[in-house]
Amino acid sequence: MRRLSNYIFVRHRHNWSLLFRFGLVGGSGVLVNLLVTILLKRGGPHFEDVMVDLPLTDFNVRWYHLYSMVAFFVANLWNFQLNRKYTFRSAQHSGWFREYWPFLAVGLAAQVVGLGILTMLMHPGSVLALPSSIFDNSTGLRTKLYWAQLIVIAVTVPVSFVLNKLWTFSSVRGGPHPTLEEEAIAEEEEAVYPPGPVA
């Protein structure tokens, strides 16, 4: 048991630190996402109105789909910039666009899944639909769209973290750059043995 605990919490402590920082950035991204959603909901057409009718189905592209996509793009860019500088500290190892496209690809894959979940939470005929008796849109805290968007974020963030750690901010680095683990060791050594003054 002690060996397992050591393996999980000591050997992989840098991953826990990354997850914590990723969570902080993600939390700020959630606020950005919801703020954009609120602004779009208040300034645009009613979120449940049909935007594009899908023939031969009971489903439509509604305004909340567009609001979710716009909020995703804004929050995705916000999260990328903070993760690049703060979480994974990869800004000195790879070009901005070289890391952004994989980050955007991961985010879009999660967003496609998220749109499916959002549709099931919002569609009144779905078994996963949020109950209109509780989420009747009478106040901000009872707005169905906000809660559906929060659930989508909660489902997609863990997958995004794993894919971004393994791919976006690691494998896209070209050349002989250090791995995240090597960076962690270097940081620890620098904390124990700070560099002396340059002569």
pLDDT per residue of the chain (199 residues) written in tens, 0 to 9: 566 555 555 555 666 777 777 778 888 988 999 999 999 999 999 999 999 988 887 778 999 999 999 999 999 999 888 888 877 665 566 678 887 888 898 889 888 989 999 999 998 888 999 999 999 988 888 999 999 999 998 888 777 777 777 776 664 444 444 444 555 555 565 555 555 554 4
Tokens of 26: 């993600």
CB 71 within 8 A of CB 37: yes
CA 183 – CA 110 distance, rounded (Å) = 28
SS3 27: helix
In this structure, are strands 60-62 and 50-53 parallel, antiparallel, or unpaired?
Answer: antiparallel
* Predicted local distance difference test score (pLDDT) of residue 68: 93
Q: What is the pTM of this model?
A: 0.70
* Predicted local distance difference test score (pLDDT) of residue 172: 43
CB 39 within 8 A of CB 104: no
* Predicted local distance difference test score (pLDDT) of residue 90: 55
DSSP assignment of 54-108 equals -TTSS-EEEHHHHHHHHHHHHHHHHHHHHIIIIIS--TTTS-HHHHHHHHHHHHH
* Predicted local distance difference test score (pLDDT) of residue 98: 81
* Predicted local distance difference test score (pLDDT) of residue 166: 75
